[in-house]
Amino acid sequence: MAEKEVILTYEGLKAIEEELEYLKTQKRKEISEKIKVALGFGDLSENAEYDEAKNEQAEVEMRIVKLEKMLKNAKVIDDENISTDAVAIGCKVKVLDIDFDEEAEYYIVGSTEADPSKNMLSDESPVGKALIGAKAGDTITVEAPNGEFQMKVLEISR
């Protein structure tokens, strides 16, 4: 079975590469030191520090494998190729929530980079899915878990 393509912006790619580098260089060394110290405490059958360090090591190694897999299957969106004719991954979109008469600006990204607290919405989220393909001036209907609502696309930029 083919791996799912991971769509990333250039910033998202850099963030994954930096996290991977940190985990491989610094974090592995830190955990190795914790294991050495814990081994010095003697009996491993009742050594909570050793168990904790080994669990942390396993989590870090799983994260490294996950990040490497993401990078292997990454498709980076080139800012130069992003059209502002219609909403696509990599676009910034200014919208008007019609029900609340409030404007918001979202950055549409792949699911790996999504961070709603920074207004970075996944193309797979209800709002992101509804916005993909919309043009400036369009009114879209978002099918969210708590019901439908409408937004008007005011502006699309890179």
Query: Per mean pLDDT, which range of 14-28, 38-52, 66-80, 122-136 is the poorest?
Result: 38-52
Q: State the CATH class of domain 80-157.
A: alpha beta
Furthest-apart CA pair in the chain: how many Å? 69
Tell me the CA distances in angstroms from 147 to 4, 98, 121, 134, 150, one per residue in order.
Answer: 29, 14, 18, 20, 10
Task: Break the chain into its structural domains and give their ranges.
Answer: 6-76, 80-157
Helices (H), the chain: 10-22, 28-39, 48-72, 126-131
Instruction: Please give the Cα distance from 8 to 122 (Å, whole number).
Output: 11
pLDDT digits (tens, 9 = 90+) for 41-100: 777 777 788 889 999 999 999 999 999 999 999 888 877 777 788 898 889 999 999 888
CATH code of the domain occupying 6-76: 1.10.287.180
User: Is the entire prediction scored with pTM above 0.75?
Assistant: no
Q: What is the rounded CA–CA span in Å between residue 5 and residue 22? A: 24
Domains 6-76 and 80-157 fall in the same CATH topology: no
Please give the structure tokens belonging to residue 114: 């999504």
Q: Please, which pLDDT band fits residue 111 given cuts at 50, 70 and 90? A: confident
- Please give the DSSP secondary-structure letter assigned to residue 26: I
